[in-house]
Structure 1
Amino acid sequence: MDTREIETPTPQLIEEAIDAGDGARAKKLLHLMVGDWERNKDYSINWIAQLLSFIGRRLGEPAVEEALRDLGERFVRPRRSGPVDTRKRMEGIARGMKANGADVAFSEDDEKYELSFRCGSGGMLIDSGAYSEPKNYLTLRERGPVTFDRDELPVYCAHCSVNNEIQPIEWDGAPQTVEYPPHGPGERCVHHIYKDAAAIPGEVFARVGKKNLNT
């Protein structure tokens, strides 16, 4: 890398290569940028999982929910204020998952949109064995709303229950998305985005300790 390449944002270098008709250089820079992003993403994901594991082991599993609720109030809720068309919400989730390295499969019926994918964050940790030695991140084992009423849930995936379902129900009466995280390596994460909150099954609310008040 010369001085200009070091100092110039990679997207700008890609645009310059495209404008110059140098497709090969543009592709090379794109692959480099994706690789840099993946390394930063993996660092951040492991950072989050380790910190939540430390919190849960030092202060108890309820403290994980407290920490995630604090994130929800400070960061998540302001980003999701106001009504959003459910199609747009689904497309936003799909873009986020693709940006995270997931391969997304899409289907639709009269009631809902369905996205399934090999998750590039929580699923990546599961697939890589991060919940066993040597990383040994925390698996939550206190069955309840945070674990989707499962016997256990990888700690990183707890933001899915707390920030995407429990808190949105408390704020607006319905989950942002109904999530079914993988149980083990190689499984896909599934999201249901309902077109009408009244159509969300009662058991979806019950598993996170809530009731559907939209019916």
Structure 2
Amino acid sequence: MNDEGPANSNRVFSVEELRVASMRSVDAFAEALAHKDDARAGEFSKRLRYETLAMLRSYDGWEDDLIAWVARREEAATVEALRSQLNDRLKGQCPEPIAEEPESHLSEIARSVAAALDAGNRELALVQATKLHDDALNHHDRGMARVTGILSWIGNRYEATLLEEAMTESMAGDLLGDVSFREQAEALMHYTRVHLHPFELEEDDEKITFTCPVCPSGGRLLQNGQYADSNLGMELQGPRPFTYGRESLPVYCCHEPAIEIASIQKTGVPMFIVEPSDELGVKPCKTYLYKNSAGIPERFYTRLGLEKPSSKPS
């Protein structure tokens, strides 16, 4: 297989790099074991552990930030009522907790993967890696359901601008600084793998396109019936920047325009660009990472109520 791009292309990644980057880490681990490449398997074991812990901290931290936002505005009894209502309404709707201390639980399984690999027991290593992935996915699905429930509580209780405020504050983590395009792309590949589902990567001269058969978070929430109950899954009504100018957008999905707006306000360009499908939860959404900000179509700014800068270095 020719793993190189055309001689005159502006390609940054090889075909093989894109293939491996888009795989679930547990699948990449299994592939390396099948080839008896223990060193490579060890690399994917570490990648899987890093992703599972990043996922856990992301969702747990997001929930904590949203609860803290509510706590600054409501009495303690209201906050406790929110937690209680959320737990009651999500019974049977999302996975149960994987352990009393999820991070310790996942770390212990990750160590067992490494130990089995060091002992030369590939079969046990794969069993444990699969368990690590599956337990982490359960926590992921629980986390995205809980966050959506809290966002819906906020959206149903307050006006839209306050929901947007809560969303913006909870998305106000460190944005990527002045890094190379390869580093930007590798970071976004990592963030996408954190959702523990496979996706596709395609690079052309102007951008990289990320495509999931079904969005592993927002799309699966729709498929799982989260929005059948507006108390657990409300839709933000538009058109407005936080709905990408659409008539409405599922509340979980609104974190994408929140990130884009925050990054444009900080750097002048979006950290990445999400183009939602016309049938959310059915058709795949696409995410774009442009190599040169000058090539970003103006419509990706105007849908957020912003103007594209007249000039911005790539």
Structure-1-length-normalised TM-score: 0.88
Q: Which residue number corresponds to residue 245 of structure 2?
A: 149
Give 1:86 deviation, angstroms: 2.2
Where has structure 1 moved over 6 Å in runs of 4 or more? Answer: none
SS of the equivalent of 1:52 reads: helix
Shift of 1:99: 2.7
Q: Does 1:198 pair with 2:294?
A: yes
Percent pairwise identity: 27
The one-letter code matched in structure 2 to 1:191 is: T
Alignment partner, residue 185 of structure 2 = 90
> What is the Cα deviation at residue 8 of structure 1?
7.4
Structure 1 runs not aligned, ≥5 long: 1-5
Deviates more, 1:154-163 or 1:182-191: 182-191
In structure 1, the residue matched to 2:153 is 54
Deviates more, 1:98-107 or 1:203-212: 98-107
Query: Where does residue 172 of structure 1 map in the other structure?
Result: 267
1:41-80 alignment, distance < 5 Å: 41-73=140-172, 76=173, 79-80=174-175
The residue type equivalent to 2:148 in the other structure is A
Q: CA deviation at 1:177?
A: 0.5
**Which residue does the alignment assign to 2:37?**
none
Contact 2:201 2:210 in 1 (8 A): yes
RMSD: 1.9
Is residue 10–residue 29 contact of structure 1 (8 Å, CA) maintained in 2? yes
Q: Which residue of 2 aligns with 1:189?
A: 285
How far apart are the structure 2 equivalents of 1:209 and 1:14? 48
Unpaired runs of 5+ residues, structure 2, are 1-104
Q: TM-score, normalised by structure 2?
A: 0.61
Partner of 2:124: 25
The alpha carbon displacement at 1:81 in A equals: 4.8
Distance in 2 of aligned mates of 1:82 and 1:184: 31
Q: Higher mean Cα deviation, 112-121 or 200-209?
A: 112-121
- The AA in structure 2 aligned to 1:151 is E
Change (3 A) 1:68 1:133: closer
Of 197, 219, 224, the residue aligned with 1:123 is 219
- Equivalent position SS for 2:227: coil
C-alpha distance after superposition, 1:91-129 (max 9, x if no partner): 222222223123211112222111111221112102222
Give 1:181 deviation, angstroms.
2.6
Structure 2 Cα separation of the partners of residues 106 and 197 of structure 1: 19
Cα distance 1:190–1:7, how it changes in 2: closer, same or farther (>3 A)?
closer
Q: Does 1:15 align with 2:151?
A: no
* CA displacement, residues 31-57 of structure 1 (integer Å, 9 cap, x when unaligned): 111111011111111111000000000
Rate the CA distance shift 1:70–1:176 in 2: closer, same or farther, 3 A: same
